[in-house]
Amino acid sequence: MAKKRTEFVCQACGHRSIKWLGQCPSCKAWSSLSEEVAEARGGEVRPAWGAGGTGLAPTPIRAIEGDEAARIRTGIAELDRVLGGGVVPGALILLGGDPGIGKSTLLLAALDRLASSGGGRPVLYVSGEESLRQTKLRGDRLGASSENLLLLAETDAERVLAQAEKLAPLALAVDSIQTLFLPELGSAPGTVSQVREVAGRLMAFAKRTDTPTFIVGHVTKDGSIAGPRILEHMVDTVLYFEGEASHTFRVLRAHKNRFGSTNEIGVFEMRSSGLSEVADPSALFLAERPVGQPGSVVTPTVSGTRPLLVEVQALVAPTQYGTGQRKSIGVDPNRVALLAAVLERKLGLSFGPCDIFVNVAGGVELDEPAADLAVCAALVSSRVNVAVPASAVFFGEVGLAGEVRAVTAGDIRLAEASKMGFSSAYLPATNLRRLEAPELPLVGVSSVRELLEALFPDLQLQAS
């Protein structure tokens, strides 16, 4: 019998080496190489999932039936929004997030609703981390009681696929991909070879049978899906469940979606009975806003088609050290440092001997430049200890010359602000000229100087 050949595989990026190395030469991770049995190269023919079961005959695109209405609704509106209107048959969906964030809770609730509205077809939930009794206890807390929701506690991927073939479920979920293994590979569950091969088998099953398949993935310390990066390339959709342990809000965001937009977000609130959808997140994020306090500014942000009002808080305080700190939560720290430099250089406001702290209340991440104007207003408001108008919202991009540039979806932002009871808005002058029927009184500004002169008329600014 031929001796099995072993090799060392990086568990972070999948790099292979014939000998052990302390640092991976590809991703530079330390102590990430583990010994595995070398996989056989070539000779294996994968079963195809194309028309007629062969997938070899090319088909004209006009002859292929494709109906957007064929999407399957999960019954959770926020999840359907992020998926692009529902689950596409045959889609392979990867759900990631920090431990305890609510991935399994969301998935079990969605599968229960699918099973209740699936016309009698079963839905299979495979748990490799919990026993059936533990999963049942979580289901009782969520109120999951559909007779068509079937539970399976198994880690052998071959047995899982055999059960899926036998049941022909409406949907399949695996929690988590790192716990499943294929005995013939000989390596431990969760290794690169196991994760890649199991994901490939699940993908083949999903495409061949048109079964939507959800897989849960663990997240590493840096916030990325554990395992090889090829896992994210193989799936159709990558969903991240984001949120802080100290906040009750959870944001579901699509980082990749072959069947919809990646800009949509879903907002949930963690309660004792499980995750609850938040239909009006703007009201929830502004519920505890301190009205009339310096450094507190409201900005309308847009994620996909959803407008969202959030509070930007800034605190500027004298530093106890030689150089001031620049720290932020929810906003890129480099962006905050850039805006502070613009205010110093163009307007003569001194932030050098001060610590600057910026926070977006509620744990929301602002990744668009439209929040620049709100950050500038919050910084100056805290610096001079004067509150901005509590009934105003601010949005606009700020350039290095201090100019205020137009942003997209200005009408949607204003409509959301008007709905929430705000009576004025400060926005780029270019956006103001494009509006046909403003929702509320507007103040168009073409530079940060114009904004500060309108907000703080007694503030002495440096001549340009």
Binding-site positions read: 97-104
**What is d(CA 358, CA 329) in angstroms, rounded to the nearest whole number?**
6
Which residue matches tokens 């899906």?
225
User: Which value, to the nearest 10 degrees, does the dihedral of the CA atoms of residues 251, 363, 308, 451 take?
Assistant: -150
Q: Of 280, 271, 257, 323, which Cα lies nearest the Cα of 420? A: 280
Which residues are CB-neighbours of 331 under 8 A, at least 6 positions away? 312, 358, 360, 366, 371, 375
Tokens of 415: 């409509």
- Other CB atoms within a 10 A radius of the CB of residue 135 amount to 20
Neighbours of 198 (CB within 10 A): 27
Q: Is 25 exposed, middle or buried (0-12, 13-18, 19+ CB in 10 A)?
A: exposed
Give the bridge partners for 240, in sequence order: 96, 253
Give the DSSP per-residue string, 176-243. Answer: -GGG-B-GGG-SPTTSHHHHHHHHHHHHHHHHHHT--EEEEE-B-TTSSBSS-THHHHHSSEEEEEE-
Residue numbers belonging to the annotated binding site for ATP: 97-104
Query: Cα 148 to the chain's mean position, in Å?
Result: 30
Contact present, 199 and 177 (Cβ < 8 Å): yes
In this structure, are residues 439 and 418 in contact, taking their beta carbons and an 8 Å threshold? Answer: yes
Contact by Cβ (8 Å): 346, 448? yes
Say if CB 402 and CB 349 are below 8 A apart.
Answer: no
